[in-house]
Amino acid sequence: MSEEMRMVVEITFNIVYLITVWGLVLAMWRRRSHVAPQNQGMASLVLWAFGFLALGDTGHVGFRVWAYALGSLESSLQIAGQQVGLVGVGAFMTAVTVTFFYVLMLEVWRQRFNRQYGWFEYLLLCAAALRLVLMALPVNEWNSVVPPQPWSTVRNLPLMLQGLGLAYLNLRDARAAGDRTFTWIGVSILVSYACYMPVIFFVQQVPVLGMLMIPKTLAYVAIGFMAYFELYIGRQSAGTRAVSQSSV
């Protein structure tokens, strides 16, 4: 695929994705009063989680579209006398919001399966806090279009722990409860990381690997729609019934 064609594909996908994810957030907001009482807490958390995701990705992919429109991914704006790269600012935004996304989805897991936090869950929360600290350091070079190595890997290790840990918890408990929706949510998280990790480790050497962000992003969209239909449309799966009955 030529560089020009890759740019067209990326811009088109980014615009369609932003419309989709914000549409999903709006749909959740409009249907919040229709959520079953036992799902109100989880539904609110999912709404906030995808609101954060949409906000961060508006900066991430939205600013990439803006930079392309200005002629180059190196495009920047002058803010308070400082040159600020559009792509770098967007990358920082999504790095922060996706961290909170996984914190909120961890609480969704806890409520779904009536669990208590133990050492492993607190480890995932500590990973989130550590990631936020790491992202505040100057070595991140947020104005850079291509993230610096090996620091890009270092700052993403806590996120990997968050995501893969949450996938494990969902798969373990959803399979035990026969909860198909949250089993597939766990699978989708694994798919997203299978696409994301090659980008983290090797995109500097092989830039075309950046295209893996498309299926990675689609996995998040799948999670959003599965949670929407499960919690906001009112469909109750066998897994939901099993979890509800076990808590009586």
- Please report, for the chain, the start and end positions of each structural domain, with discontinuous segments joined by +: 3-246
Residue 226: the pLDDT is 96
Residue 150: the pLDDT is 87
Q: What is the pLDDT of residues 50-105, one digit of tens each?
A: 999 999 999 888 888 887 887 777 777 766 667 777 788 888 999 999 999 999 99
Residue 246: the pLDDT is 41
- Please give the DSSP secondary-structure letter assigned to residue 206: -
The answer to whether the bond into 215 is cis (omega within 30° of 0) is no
Range 194-217 average pLDDT: 86
Q: How confident is the model at residue 45 (pLDDT cuts 50, 70, 90)?
A: very high
Range 219-247 average pLDDT: 71
Class of domain 3-246: mainly alpha
Residue 59: the pLDDT is 87
Q: What is the DSSP string of 132-195?
A: HHHHTSGGG-TT-SSPPTTHHHHHHHHHHHHHHHHHHHHHHHHHHHT-HHHHHHHHHHHHHHHH
Spatial neighbors of 206 by CB under 8 A, at least 6 apart, are: none
Q: Is the pLDDT of residue 1 over 90?
A: no
Strand, helix or coil for residue 205:
coil
Which residue type sits at 100? F
Spatial neighbors of 176 by CB under 8 A, at least 6 apart, are: none
Q: Is the pLDDT of residue 231 over 90?
A: yes
Do residues 60 and 91 make contact, with C-beta atoms less than 8 angstroms apart? yes
Measured CA to CA, the distance from residue 79 to residue 234 in angstroms comes to 46
Question: Structure pTM?
Answer: 0.88
Q: Which of 131, 140, 3, 12 is nearest to 64 (CA)?
A: 12
